[in-house]
Amino acid sequence: MAEMMMDGALTDGAAFRRGGRPSRGESEKIEGRVLAVATALFFRRGFAATSMEQVAIEARVSKRTLYARFHDKAALFRGVVDCQLDSWRPAFEGAATPPESLDASSLDASSLAATLREAATTILRVALAPEALALHRMVVAEAERFPELACTLSAVSASGVEFLSGLLRRSPELGARSPEALAFAAEQFVMLVVSAPRRRALGLGRPLDEAGLAAWAEGSVALFLEGVRRWEGVRRWDP
Does a structural domain hold residue 239? no
Mean pLDDT, the chain, whole residue set: 80
Note down the domain range covering 24: 2-71
Say if residue 71's pLDDT is above 80: yes
Q: How many domains does the chain have?
A: 2
Give yes or no: residues 116 and 189 share one domain.
yes
Quick one: average pLDDT of 56-70? 93
pLDDT digits (tens, 9 = 90+) for 123-166: 899 889 888 898 888 888 877 877 777 776 676 667 778 888 88
Contact 91, 68 (CB under 8 A): no
Give yes or no: residues 89 and 199 share one domain.
yes
Contact 80, 132 (CB under 8 A): no
CATH number for the domain harbouring residue 34? 1.10.10.60
pLDDT band at 192 (very low <50, low <70, confident <90, very high): very high
Give yes or no: residues 229 and 140 share one domain.
yes
Long-range contact set of residues 216-221: C-beta below 8 Å, sequence gap at least 24: 216/124, 217/117, 217/120, 217/121, 217/124, 217/193, 218/117, 218/120, 220/120, 220/189, 220/192, 220/193, 221/113, 221/116, 221/117, 221/120
Domain boundary among 71, 91, 121: 71
Domain boundary among 71, 89, 113: 71
User: Is the model more confident about 120 or about 3?
Assistant: 120
Give yes or no: residues 13 and 114 share one domain.
no
pLDDT band at 93 (very low <50, low <70, confident <90, very high): low
Give yes or no: residues 80 and 28 share one domain.
no
Domain boundary among 55, 71, 87: 71
Quick one: average pLDDT of 168-197? 88
Looking at residue 7, what is its pLDDT?
A: 47
What 3-state DSSP class applies to 74? helix
Give yes or no: residues 88 and 64 share one domain.
no
Rounded distance, CA 214 to CA 124, Å? 9
Give yes or no: residues 148 and 171 share one domain.
yes
pLDDT digits (tens, 9 = 90+) for 1-60: 444 444 444 443 444 444 456 667 778 889 999 999 999 999 888 888 899 999 999 999
Give yes or no: residues 221 and 176 share one domain.
yes
